Amino acid sequence: MSAGNIDRMMQVGTEPKGLGWLSSIREMVIVFGVGLCVFGAVSGDRLKTPSRDNHYVYLADAMLNGRLHLEGRPPHLNDWAKYKERWYVSFPPAPALLMLPGVAVFGFDFNDRIFTLFFAALGPALLFLLLRCLSAAQRLERKTWEQALLCAVFGIGTVYFFSAVQGTVWYTAHMVGIFFLLLFAICSLGGRHPILAGLFLGLAFACRPPMLFAFPFFFYEILRQYSGKPGIGVFEWLRRAVTLIGVRPLVRQTLMFGIPVVAVFGLIALMNLTRFDDPLEFGHKYLQIRWRGRIETWGLFNYHYLSRNLTTAFTLLPWLSSDPPYIGISRHGLAIWFTTPIFLWALWPVRRTRFITVLWITVGIMALPSLFYQNSGWVQFGYRFSLDYTAFLILIVALSRRTFGKLFIAMFVFSVAVNLFGALTFNRDWKYYPKESTATYFQPD
């Protein structure tokens, strides 16, 4: 089968017919504007000054001066890496690269909070565009108001809300990473833009390394045109798809997707080699933090950490008390299902499609690195590492075909109330977050 025929076939069922691009862009701008207003209002006076944890600004300044290390000591000792008597920013560099023009003009006064706010507002807007594209391709049976509601769930009904209004290095990485991840998903639809999809996935990796494992989404989009009958098994489906596509076009699509990913990975590996004499070392091993001992004993990733991370993700609840302030939250955060009970809709779709199965596989693969990581995300309101795959969970809910009835609306209101509380109080009013040791997950007896 010729490459031209493949390209034409790949557009079948994926071209957003009747989407009304001008209308959709206008709607996307509206979602962006609403997000900017909501996140800006909750951020409040935080936006007046740069954050204290503006690591990316320091990395951008170092790059502008032809260095990868800081000049002298960092402003404080929270999450900075020290190697061979030099101090480094251990976080992947994509947000710092985007900050270069601003830091070139304003120096260390560059406002990383406003920078983060801009990308935070883009997240729900891009998710809306993704849903609109799927709807126009007749792959999503949701009305416009339902799609808008799902974007609201994403923006203010998940831990995205409290993360969007922080503006510090950890949350900047999440916001910029989600921006690139959603661009990757949009460009992956139908496998129609493999080079852009690969580039955006590489840049998402350069914000949050676990996002690299979203790659099954792209390969499914290549193969789905040739899925055959819905009832066939996955291996038969794969065999038929590869046979119909042909090995050569499939290799071509894979190379077009993979080259940008490998290029970004290679540049970061070179950066790591230059700084830490190890292409795979970002510098987290050299963080000057109080739990360095456990890193030296167990490493950055180990089965040893799995139970505590599962606890953080799935069992932590608010602490209730008869004494003021009456409610407390572990600094490890709250369980995913408590902050966003709407995710339970993803567990029981009306009909489990191959697309939903692939999305669950993608979510599972993306979640694994964080579950085996030495840190639970501490300190946080909710399990912030779930942000790596939250957009895909929303997509599963959208595809579930479950009606958005009274119970769904009630859970939406609950989710917004919980996450608004987190957005208003986290890193502001510490009386709700008792200062316990890092070993404390549940309310003390």
pLDDT digits (tens, 9 = 90+) for 325-344: 999 999 999 999 999 999 99
C-alpha–C-alpha distance, residues 360 and 214, integer Å: 11
189-209 average pLDDT score: 96
Please, which pLDDT band fits residue 231 given cuts at 50, 70 and 90? low
Q: What is the pLDDT of residue 2?
A: 39
Q: What is the pLDDT of residue 138?
A: 92
**Residue 201 scores a pLDDT above 60:** yes
Nearest to 124, CA basis, from 343, 309, 391: 391
CB 364 within 8 A of CB 344: no
Range among 74-83, 256-265, 320-329 with highest mean pLDDT value: 256-265
Q: What is the pLDDT of residue 214?
A: 98
Q: What is the pLDDT of residue 178?
A: 98
**Residue 17 scores a pLDDT above 90:** no
Please, which pLDDT band fits residue 228 given cuts at 50, 70 and 90? low
Task: Kindly state the tokens that stand for 372.
Answer: 């085996």
Q: Which of 174-183, 267-276, 280-289 has the lowest mean pLDDT?
A: 280-289
Please provide the size of the chain in residues: 445
Q: What is the pLDDT of residue 232?
A: 67
Q: What is the pLDDT of residue 260?
A: 98
**Residue 133 scores a pLDDT above 70:** yes
Scored b (16 or more CB within 10 A) or e, 224-256 reads bbbbeeeeeeeeebeebbeebbeeebbeebbeb
- Scan for tokens 């190379």, then name that residue: 255
Q: What is the pLDDT of residue 435?
A: 85
- Read out DSSP for 369-398? HHHTBS----S-SS-GGGGGTHHHHHHHHH
Handedness of CA 38, 41, 43, 46 (dihedral sign): positive
377-400 average pLDDT score: 97
Q: Would you kindly state where each structural domain of the chain is located, as residue ranges?
A: 3-432
When the pLDDT of each residue in the chain is averaged and rounded to a whole number, the result is 91
CB 241 within 8 A of CB 226: yes
Rg over alpha carbons for the chain, rounded to the nearest Å, is: 22
C-alpha–C-alpha distance, residues 157 and 173, integer Å: 20
* Cβ-based neighbour number of residue 405 at 10 Å: 8
Between the alpha carbon of residue 76 and those of residues 49, 59, 89, 183, 225, the distances in Å are 17, 15, 12, 35, 53
- 179 or 250: which leads in pLDDT: 179
Q: What is the pLDDT of residue 229?
A: 59
Please, which pLDDT band fits residue 441 given cuts at 50, 70 and 90? confident
**Residue 1 scores a pLDDT above 50:** no
C-alpha–C-alpha distance, residues 131 and 186, integer Å: 9
Please, which pLDDT band fits residue 21 given cuts at 50, 70 and 90? low
Q: Which of 77-86, 157-166, 385-394 has the lowest mean pLDDT?
A: 77-86
